[in-house]
Amino acid sequence: MKRALAVCLLAFAALQAQAGRSCEQVKPSPALIVKGMQLAERTSQQLDASGARVVLLARAGQDLSKYGLRYSHLGIAYKTDEGPWRVVHKLNQCGTAVAAVYRQGLGEFFLDDLWRYEAAWVVPTPQVQTQLLAALGESPSRIVRLNVAPYSIVSYAWGQKYQQSNQWAVETMAAAMEPATINSRAQAQAWMQFKGYEPTTLKLGPLTRLGGRVGSANIAFDDHPNEKRFSDRIETVTVDSVFAWMPRAGLGGAPVAFKLQ
């Protein structure tokens, strides 16, 4: 299992994959490719100017405004010794209930028909950056050791049955902070709770839940506690909740955003 995930991490497979964006198999137009590359270039310049070596980087692939959310997908971006920025993030394979971890450039990260051409990031504290760099620089198996293939876009924040992209990023950060003691997702989530992380609670009624489960392979609700699920409280990890938590917990600065004009 780990060997297969490591292969996925080292090279972007020729599979349609998505996270925090639509899964329609539409070939990007030249204009959209240009916009995506422009956003990547400007984001790279902004990240260079920040002096950071690692950031938590987000994109807006879907319109989530009806849930009070601005960003859809989170990855861990880092500055390589060779110069370019890379992003490690989890992507769902379209039309399936599984996902894997990939390493991409900024151009690939933003090369899509995004809902809004905007990048946002949080610069972690120097200590968090050091720990994340150590995890990123070691063998691929370390950075994917908390990854699990079963995927649900609304996976329960404190569950282990499924794991969505934002959840993988923040659990991986937790494991990087305590590499000697955190060896499981449950331990990573306990660290997040100790640090005061609060997931987003989505208000999803029964018809919405039923329609999502029947219509999409990557949406499941059966990992949520019954008392919360049946009272329309779906607690999941979102970019917005992570960005609010990082400065509150003393783990990073305030979020910074850049929008392509």
List the chain pLDDT tens, one digit each, 261 residues. Answer: 333 333 334 333 333 455 544 455 567 788 889 999 999 999 999 999 999 999 999 999 999 999 999 999 999 999 988 789 999 999 998 778 999 999 999 999 998 779 999 999 999 999 999 999 999 986 778 899 999 999 999 999 999 999 999 999 999 999 999 999 999 999 999 999 999 999 999 987 554 544 445 447 888 999 999 999 888 899 999 999 999 999 999 999 999 999 997
Closest CA to 171 of 32, 183, 130: 183
108: phi then psi, degrees, rounded to nearest 5: -70, -35
The per-residue pLDDT for 205 is 58
State the Cα–Cα distance between residues 112 and 35, nearest whole angstrom.
Answer: 9
The per-residue pLDDT for 21 is 44
The per-residue pLDDT for 24 is 57
Closest CA to 77 of 102, 56, 50: 56
Q: Are 217 and 96 in contact (CB under 8 A)?
A: yes
**CB-side neighbour CA atoms (13 Å) of 112:** 24
The per-residue pLDDT for 142 is 85
The per-residue pLDDT for 13 is 36
List the structure tokens of 124: 């972690």
List the structure tokens of 175: 């494991």
173: phi then psi, degrees, rounded to nearest 5: -65, -40
Note the pTM of the prediction, 2 decimals. 0.88
Could you count the other beta carbons within 10 Å of the beta carbon of residue 1?
A: 9
∠ CA 230-232-238 to the nearest 5 degrees? 125
The per-residue pLDDT for 69 is 95
Residues in contact with 36: Cβ distance below 8 Å, sequence separation at least 6, in sequence order: 28, 107, 110, 111, 112, 114, 117
Residue 75, beta-bridge partner list: 57
User: Look-up: residue for tokens 């955003």?
Assistant: 257
